[in-house]
Amino acid sequence: MPDPITVSEETQWAADIAGDNDDRFQALASHENLNAFVDHHFDEQSKDWRAPYIGDELLTEEQMGRFATPGDLAKSYAGAQTQLSKGFQAPTLPENATDEDVAAFRTAQGIPLTAGDYLENLPDGLVIGEADAAIAEHFTNKFHEMNASPAVVHGILGAYNEWAEQQQADLAEMDTGHFKEVEDVLRAPVEEGGWGPEYRANVNIVGAMLDKTFGKEAAEAIQNARGPDGRAIMNTPAILAGMAQLARELDPLVTIIPNDTGDSAKTLNDEIAAIEKVMKDDRPAYNKDEKMQARLLELYDIRLKHEAAA
């Protein structure tokens, strides 16, 4: 605290003005004379009072320009403190709001007038595909009832889109791993429980059986079906093996790949006739060819079972 100024000949002018007010006397007497005090007063008046409050850690020049007087700044600060003490309160609709009230509120808050308008001007990279259209419509309708801002809705739709894309990527990676597992198990030699060289034929047999039994559309649905754990049922070795066995039991003819006619029965009979011709015309050659003999017996068996099933 500065030392008090005593009344002297030089400061008598200040004492005459201040009277009994010591603080006023101190302020006046700090100047050489009355003229010096008046000059200082006008110098201070000519300065921009906002300047001390503008800076990197203070307010910007634009912000300070909103206040005409220091009193306006003080009122603004007091109002902000009051609002903070109450906590943030978002604008709300009045009770029993009319349609006009709702429309005015949404316009003022930048909320679309219809739910479908949320899907206009989507952020870069956000695309709502046909498969997700129903989900997006459900979300936007709900958010519109809540008067959510477009930024919030776009953020949620974007998050859902990212999640859905990741789900698809994870599913594709899982399918690739399971498919390899199926091939490893069923391509193994017969003595190890696999199909050996019959792998591809058995896979085709299963597909043919499903098409014939259920029709193309239902067969495709079965082939794309998944279990509770998300695993494709056709990527389960035991299921694929069981279907192949079932296909043979239902109709042994499925093991015959049809020729250009598309008729498996005709293909079967044509192959039997060809081997029987060799057996008749060149018996020594037939007797030497054990594979041909085994194949003819297999074809006879298939024909008998097919006829029985029919």
What is the per-residue pLDDT across 27-61, written as a single tens digit (0 to 9) for each? 878 888 877 777 676 666 656 667 777 887 777 87
pLDDT number for residue 185: 94
- With a cut of 60, say whether residue 143 has pLDDT above it: yes
- Burial (CB < 10 A; 0-12, 13-18, 19+), residue 148, is buried
Predicted confidence band of residue 2 (pLDDT cuts 50, 70, 90): very low
- With a cut of 80, say whether residue 115 has pLDDT above it: yes
pTM: 0.52
Predicted confidence band of residue 1 (pLDDT cuts 50, 70, 90): very low
Tell me what the mean pLDDT of segment 270-281 comes to.
90
- With a cut of 80, say whether residue 209 has pLDDT above it: yes
8 A C-beta contact, residue 144 and residue 115: yes
